[in-house]
Amino acid sequence: MSEKFYKALILIISVLVPLIVATLFYVSLPNLFPGLDITFFPKFHAFLNSLTTLFLLTGFYFIKNKKIRAHKFCMLTSLSLSALFLVSYVFYHAMSEPVHYGGAGFLKYLYYFILITHILLAAGILPLILFTAFRALNNQFDKHKKIARWTLPLWLYITTTGVLVYVFMAPYY
């Protein structure tokens, strides 16, 4: 298939995923799994974000040391962990009631700053991640390197702040 096809597919996925996630916050789905304990999901999501952060950092280390195969493994693992996170996150929010932050003062402002920047960047990172991976997998390494310079720090910010959001919210789950 042509490169145009994959670019169009990446753009379609990049628009649909945030729309689906946003829709879940306004639509209540029936409980398809009554009796299923979903209280472990927030901790699981923090774990996935932590692992993704570690693999991203390790992958960066490997590429700086010209260990291409190890870099590729780490980055594809990061992509897989993020995909698992997304599916799990959507499932959890489809099955749970919203939980609100109960802190006050400076921590409340800090939490909302972290949360808002996390959400905005998470909504926009998908095309960067997919184009970065696409370019590497298609041996377009010059283009891959140019976009990866933006993708990596943003992705790291998102995974790190995802863990921070959990730390802030843990007392309220």
Whether the per-residue pLDDT at 31 is higher than 80: the answer is no
Model confidence pLDDT, tens digit, residues 105-150: 999 999 999 999 999 999 899 999 999 999 999 999 999 999 999 9
Question: In 3D, which of 10, 20, 173, 154 has the Cα closest to residue 96?
Answer: 173
Domain edges within the chain: 42-172
151-167: pLDDT as tens digits? 999 999 999 999 999 99
Q: What is the four-CA torsion angle of 155, 16, 25, 45, rounded to 10 degrees?
A: -40
CB 74 within 8 A of CB 136: no
96 falls in which pLDDT band (50, 70, 90)? confident
Q: How many Cα atoms sit within 13 Å of 172 on the Cβ side?
A: 12
Q: Which of 28-32, 33-37, 167-171 tops mean pLDDT? A: 167-171
Does the predicted model carry a pTM greater than 0.95? no
- CA-wise closest residue to 171 among 95, 102, 89: 102
